[in-house]
């Protein structure tokens, strides 16, 4: 087809385009591209007449049969432009074609009333309180409450569109669908040109299935996200959950307005039972609360007593406890802050801090492994200048670099995420990483590297520790199985090896390992307090010396204290590494209190 003439009226030009799109199967990709460009030019003005809008809808309906997928996002924008710019006098204006229906209704944004759009087929549109036919969508009366006064004045119209399934083979194509497929038409709604999300009362969408949902399969409620796949669009389930599903229809509920459809999940991913989710949530919040309390007690103990924080292991332990404490505190308030999506930047900043403190915790666990290796394996001729300063730069600086890069690439990487969608119509919202690729690179891959390193260091340290114990006859004689278990558990907690349960949380053992992961990792702060405060002889001595009274109080220079000092010196004298050994307290941050004396002098105190 020839390009339309600029001298023609828009309606006449649109009529010519309609003729040229009568049989798009005969057109090649460049011809389809030219037709779309011409139509974009016709709807580029500030206003669109009803006649031009009606012709545009029929042209789009014809173009939906084209096999050229590169123009799909542009076609969606054309339909949105017609609905936004259409000039009409009636309360409701309907533009109908074989494959597409567009309905525009005048509304009062400051006094919005419940509105329902229903459709039997593209030739039969009803804007009223009816739930029937191919699909319907209900907009709650609270739809515009979160908008500002200026935005409410702009919300003078609501537009609905329905794309018939089977007539648009190239439109709404997502390369990441995999084995999933559409089983409904596409029904969408928007208010003027405003972004509506985080609704207190969700939008309800009812869509008729074009085929039954097979047994043991689950339907998923999704919307068309034009920002996905580098601007070409893709299906996204954030903010939508399944309310009810039968063989003939599916009801979805969403907290925003955009295009909706139903996908058949052929991956058979189960929807978690609400009871199990409640139990895991209860364990999580109890565990994180206890960890926050005991991490605070650990920090207060090591910061209050100067004798406990003189050595390097104690300084590293303090940094790890601080990172874990901040991680637990941000996590505890995350779900509560996610209830206020309308507050600018609140959810984004919460997700940012949660990501940062999570990476910082991982990093300090890795630095614990580095220090153990230097102290126990590379004992001789090992000196690092500004040791703690370098550790701090890595422990707090590397995570900062990662999160800054993530937010610099796209601030939308952080935000509100709907994680679970349950059969009872409820969902769990959380401020976290929204982009799956970013999550797998900036969290999963980051942790995998540290976990692999820590696992290797754990084996190396345990082998070296066993060798040192065998070389110490006095220690070997007084060793017990309980002390060995305590020693291994103390190192395991510091290196965060229990986070590895996440690797097994899939398939038939998913639920069991989710429980193990939740219990052990939410209680990591409690275990640190248990193994590195409660069972430490020198920590208990400091408590009794400074905090206790009466018979429990221990004098600074008591016989018990002198005996403990003599025992330490005796252990140092029989150790094979006496030239670099220090007092027992110097190793208390990563070894059980009954461990033999081990080297710690790898940097300035």
What is the per-residue pLDDT for 280?
79
What is the per-residue pLDDT for 127?
42
Nearest alpha carbon to residue 79 among 294, 289, 226, 198? 226
What is the per-residue pLDDT for 522?
87
8 A C-beta contact, residue 577 and residue 599: yes
8 A C-beta contact, residue 284 and residue 249: no
- What's the pTM value of the predicted model, to 2 decimals? 0.54
Which residue do the tokens 């497929």 mark?
Answer: 181
Report the alpha-carbon distance of residue 601 to residue 605 in Å, rounded.
Answer: 8
Which residue do the tokens 């990501």 mark?
Answer: 355
Report the alpha-carbon distance of residue 588 to residue 596 in Å, rounded.
Answer: 11
Q: What is the CATH number of domain 274-587?
A: 1.20.1070.10
What is the per-residue pLDDT for 510?
67
Q: What is the mean pLDDT of each run of 10 residues along the chain (605 residues)?
A: 57 88 81 86 87 89 70 80 86 82 86 81 45 70 80 84 64 68 79 73 81 72 71 72 79 64 36 64 86 94 87 92 94 82 84 94 94 77 77 96 94 77 55 84 90 92 81 60 75 86 68 81 90 86 73 56 44 30 34 36 46
Q: Is 323 helix (H, G, I), strand (E, B) or coil?
A: helix
* Alpha carbon distances (Å) from 152 to 69, 139, 339, 472: 36, 15, 22, 79
Q: Is 267 helix (H, G, I), strand (E, B) or coil?
A: coil
8 A C-beta contact, residue 260 and residue 222: yes
Q: Is 249 helix (H, G, I), strand (E, B) or coil?
A: strand
Question: What would the pLDDT profile of 502-516 be if each residue is shown by its tens digit?
Answer: 777 665 566 787 788
Question: What does the domain layout of the chain look like in residue ranges?
Answer: 1-87, 274-587
8 A C-beta contact, residue 364 and residue 395: yes
What is the per-residue pLDDT for 33?
85
HEC profile of 284-305: HHHHHHHHHHHHHHHHHHHHHC
What is the per-residue pLDDT for 595?
37
Report the alpha-carbon distance of residue 157 to residue 83 in Å, rounded.
Answer: 9
What is the per-residue pLDDT for 377?
75
Which H or E element spans position 324? helix 312-337
């Amino acid at each position: 087809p020839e390009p339309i003439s600029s001298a023609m009226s828009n309606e006449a030009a649109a009529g010519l385009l309609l003729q040229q799109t009568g049989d798009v199967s005969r057109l090649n990709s460049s011809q389809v591209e030219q037709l779309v460009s011409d139509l974009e030019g016709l709807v580029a003005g500030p206003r669109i007449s009803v006649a031009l809008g009606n012709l545009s809808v029929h042209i789009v309906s014809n173009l939906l049969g084209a096999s050229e997928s590169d123009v799909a996002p542009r076609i969606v924008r054309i339909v949105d432009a017609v609905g936004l710019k259409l000039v009409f006098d009636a309360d409701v204006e309907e533009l109908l074609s074989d494959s597409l229906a567009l309905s525009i209704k005048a509304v009062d944004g400051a006094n919005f009333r419940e509105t329902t759009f229903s459709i039997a087929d593209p030739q039969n549109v009803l804007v009223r309180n009816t739930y029937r036919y191919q699909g319907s969508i209900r907009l709650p009366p609270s739809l515009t409450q979160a908008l500002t006064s200026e935005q409410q004045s702009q919300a003078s119209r609501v537009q609905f569109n329905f794309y018939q399934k089977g007539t648009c083979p190239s439109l709404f194509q997502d390369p990441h669908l995999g084995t999933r497929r559409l089983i409904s038409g596409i029904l969408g709604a928007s208010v003027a040109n405003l972004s509506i999300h985080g609704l207190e009362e969700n939008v309800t969408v009812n869509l008729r299935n074009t085929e039954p949902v097979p047994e043991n399969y689950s339907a998923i409620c999704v919307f068309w996200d034009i920002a996905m796949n580098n601007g070409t669009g893709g299906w996204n389930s954030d903010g939508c959950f399944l309310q009810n599903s039968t063989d003939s229809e599916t009801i979805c509920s969403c907290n925003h307005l955009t295009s909706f459809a139903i996908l058949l999940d052929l991956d058979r991913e189960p929807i978690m039972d609400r009871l199990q989710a409640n139990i895991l949530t209860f364990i999580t919040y109890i565990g994180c609360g206890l960890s926050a309390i005991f991490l605070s007690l650990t920090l207060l103990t090591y910061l209050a007593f100067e004798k406990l924080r003189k050595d390097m292991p104690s300084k590293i332990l303090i940094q790890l406890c601080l990172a874990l404490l901040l991680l637990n505190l941000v996590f505890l308030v995350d779900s509560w802050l996610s209830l206020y999506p309308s507050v600018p930047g609140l959810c984004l900043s919460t997700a940012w801090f949660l990501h940062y403190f999570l990476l910082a915790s991982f990093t300090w666990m890795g630095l614990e492994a580095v220090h153990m290796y230097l102290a126990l394996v590379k004992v001789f001729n090992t000196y690092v200048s500004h040791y703690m300063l370098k550790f701090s730069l890595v422990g707090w600086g590397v995570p900062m670099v990662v999160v800054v890069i993530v937010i610099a690439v796209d601030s939308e990487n952080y935000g509100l995420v709907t994680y679970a969608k349950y059969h009872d119509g409820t969902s769990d919202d959380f401020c976290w990483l929204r982009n799956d690729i970013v999550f797998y690179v900036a969290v999963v891959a980051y942790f995998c590297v540290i976990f692999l390193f820590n696992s290797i260091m754990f084996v190396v340290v345990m082998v070296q520790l066993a060798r040192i114990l065998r070389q110490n006859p006095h220690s070997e004689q007084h060793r017990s199985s309980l002390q060995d278990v305590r020693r291994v558990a103390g190192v395991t907690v510091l290196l965060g090896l229990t986070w590895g349960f996440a690797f097994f949380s899939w398939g038939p053992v998913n639920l069991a390992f989710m429980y193990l992961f939740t219990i052990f990792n939410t209680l990591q702060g409690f275990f640190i307090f248990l193994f590195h405060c409660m069972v430490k002889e020198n920590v208990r001595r400091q408590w009794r010396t400074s905090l206790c009274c009466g018979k429990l109080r221990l004098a600074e220079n008591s016989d018990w204290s002198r005996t403990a000092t003599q025992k330490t010196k005796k252990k140092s004298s029989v150790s094979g590494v006496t030239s670099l050994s220090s007092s027992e307290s110097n190793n208390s941050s990563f070894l059980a209190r009954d461990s033999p004396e081990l080297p710690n002098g790898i940097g300035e105190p």
